[in-house]
Amino acid sequence: MSRRPESDTPRQPSQIAILRYLRVHGPAARIDIGTATGLSPATVTSLTADLMTQGLVQESHPATNGNGATNANGTHGSTRGRPKVLLDLVPGAACVIGVKLTINLIEIALGNFKGEIERNTEHSIKTRDLNAQELIDLLIKLIDRFIKDNNDIITTPPVGISVAVQGVTDSNSGEIIWSPALRQRQIAITKPLTERYGGIVQMSNDANCIATAITQNTALHGGGDFAVIMLGYGIGMGLVLNGNVYNGHFGTAAEFGHMKYQPDGPLCNCGRRGCLEAYIGDYAILRDAMGLVDLPDTNSLHPSEEQMMDLVARARNGNEDLADLFRHAGKILGYGIANLIALLGPKQIFITGSGARAYDLMEPELHRGLNLAQVPELRRGPEITHLAWDKDLALQGAVGQSLLRHDENMFQAGNGN
Ligand SMILES: [Zn+2]
């Protein structure tokens, strides 16, 4: 009896689906992979055999009770009560590098094929002193040193480099359009890094990387469209539609912070007036606070975490003028979220970032703003979740983005139609 022709089941997308499932869910039995991906048991067996031959997937035997017969081809052993054989990604099948660029800080991480961060380093650098060429030269120097310092585990060249940048980026062209971390605008990042390292180099803003990290974390996210709003120096957003981070046709989509609240409102760091960010961003709150309280030696352009924490503490300790600033920021955030819901109707909205330090002060007014702005008949959620700020999430997402692209590349190369 002949097998169903393989052409009925395109192998590449199915293999990518299996890799992605294992990366998100960890070790899994063939039957569970089949259920999750909709592939038949025979197809799962055939495809995972291919993936094992390619050294991408391995059998992972759960701890056995004593007998522990570690036979290499464990699939056809005795059937009596043996533990399910699980499949897992081979961590060393490939490695990728994630880079994160924020104001005065460059971080570099090494991710394995499972998406786990194995090593990372931080460099405090006056990023705003760098021009475009100095930035590129520095990134190359730091990445070179990182690869050299970790040559005990980086035994093959990284298959991808993904750069997460604070600010507005064009993920199609690989350019930083504008970043608060840099003085110069329009800096091409991916081209010189591709010339230096080959492989897949990509770049996106940090909010998109965080969105990617959330899609790969089943504890945070159970499926469906979602947005993650990042509060901090500026206001960013990552948008996930149909399982993918949405960058828009021009590669610059989801700039939530630069949607307008009042066209002739206060000056935004983008150079225009009245953006949501010009009311909610750290610099905006500090700028308004300077008119209300005495602040020592303030550089309002780049408030420090200590300065912001000081404002939050004073607001919590009864300074009603300062508390009003946070409430007002919360209300305007609520208006912005109402627009987002009206336009896209996501299932869930996460709010995170260092600026969420004052979320408790902002939240009641956020919901008031949301209720005032929403059409009552269209009010159907979504769930708004405050996600405790985890500064490693962007790097985690950068690593994840590299691996997603690497999976596609591996299987597209052999797809000769
Ligand atoms: Zn703006």
Query: Are 166 and 299 contained in the same domain?
Result: no
**Single-letter amino acid code for the residue at 267:** L
Query: Are 380 and 256 contained in the same domain?
Result: yes
What is the sign, positive or negative, of the torsion defined by CA atoms of 240, 254, 203, 395?
negative
Sheet holding 244-245, edge to edge: 244-245, 235-241, 226-231, 348-352, 383-386
Query: Are 176 and 100 contained in the same domain?
Result: yes
Question: 1 in a domain, yes or no?
Answer: no
Instruction: Write down which residue in 35, 63, 89 finishes a domain.
Output: 89
d(CA 227, CA 239): 4
356: left (phi > 0), else alpha (psi -120 to 50), else beta? alpha
Could you give the angle at the alpha carbon of 108 between the alpha carbons of 104 and 114, nearest 5°? Answer: 145
Number of domains in the chain: 3
Q: Give residue 170 CA to ligand 1 midpoint distance, Å.
A: 16
This prediction's pTM: 0.88
Q: Give residue 255 CA to ligand 1 midpoint distance, Å.
A: 9
Q: Give residue 165 CA to ligand 1 midpoint distance, Å.
A: 17
d(CA 191, CA 62): 44
Instruction: Write down which residue in 89, 112, 139 finishes a domain.
Output: 89
d(CA 342, CA 227): 13
Of the candidates 177, 200, 205, 180, which has an alpha carbon nearest to the alpha carbon of residue 190? Answer: 200
Predicted pLDDT at 298: 65
Predicted pLDDT at 296: 73
Q: Give residue 159 CA to ligand 1 midpoint distance, Å.
A: 35
Q: Give residue 256 CA to ligand 1 midpoint distance, Å.
A: 9
Q: Give residue 276 CA to ligand 1 midpoint distance, Å.
A: 7
Predicted pLDDT at 62: 66
Predicted pLDDT at 297: 65
Collapsing DSSP to helix, strand or coil, 228 comes out as: strand
Question: 124 in a domain, yes or no?
Answer: yes
Q: Give residue 398 CA to ligand 1 midpoint distance, Å.
A: 25
Tokens of 85: 């054989």
Instruction: Report whether 44 contacts 11 (CB < 8 A).
Output: no
- Angstrom distances, CA of residue 4 to CA of 16, 37, 41, 48: 21, 19, 13, 17
Tokens of 140: 């190359």
* The residue to which tokens 């533990």 are assigned: 83
Instruction: Report whether 28 contacts 87 (CB < 8 A).
Output: yes
Give the β-pairing of 235-241 and 226-231.
antiparallel
| Domain membership of residue 261 as a residue range | 221-386
Q: Give residue 281 CA to ligand 1 midpoint distance, Å.
A: 10
282 burial class (0-12, 13-18, 19+ CB within 10 angstroms)? Answer: buried
370 burial class (0-12, 13-18, 19+ CB within 10 angstroms)? Answer: buried
What is the three-state SS of 320-341? HHHHHHHHHHHHHHHHHHHHHH
Question: 19 in a domain, yes or no?
Answer: yes
Q: Give residue 258 CA to ligand 1 midpoint distance, Å.
A: 4
Adjacent-strand bridge partners of 218: none
Successive 10-residue mean pLDDT values, the chain, 417 residues: 46 91 95 95 96 95 50 43 85 97 96 97 96 98 97 94 94 93 95 94 95 92 92 95 91 91 93 96 94 76 88 96 97 96 94 95 96 84 92 94 94 55
CATH code (residue 181): 3.30.420.40
d(CA 230, CA 66): 50
Residues 6 or more apart whose CB falls under 8 angstroms from that of 85 comprise: 29, 30, 59, 60, 61, 74, 75
Predicted pLDDT at 143: 98
* The residue to which tokens 């159970």 are assigned: 222
Q: Give residue 252 CA to ligand 1 midpoint distance, Å.
A: 14
d(CA 154, CA 13): 28
Predicted pLDDT at 250: 86
Predicted pLDDT at 377: 79
Query: Are 234 and 333 contained in the same domain?
Result: yes
Q: Give residue 322 CA to ligand 1 midpoint distance, Å.
A: 23
Query: Are 193 and 114 contained in the same domain?
Result: yes
Q: Give residue 266 CA to ligand 1 midpoint distance, Å.
A: 10
Query: Are 85 and 140 contained in the same domain?
Result: no
Predicted pLDDT at 10: 62
CB atoms within 10 A of CB 396: 25
Adjacent-strand bridge partners of 29: 86
Predicted pLDDT at 413: 55
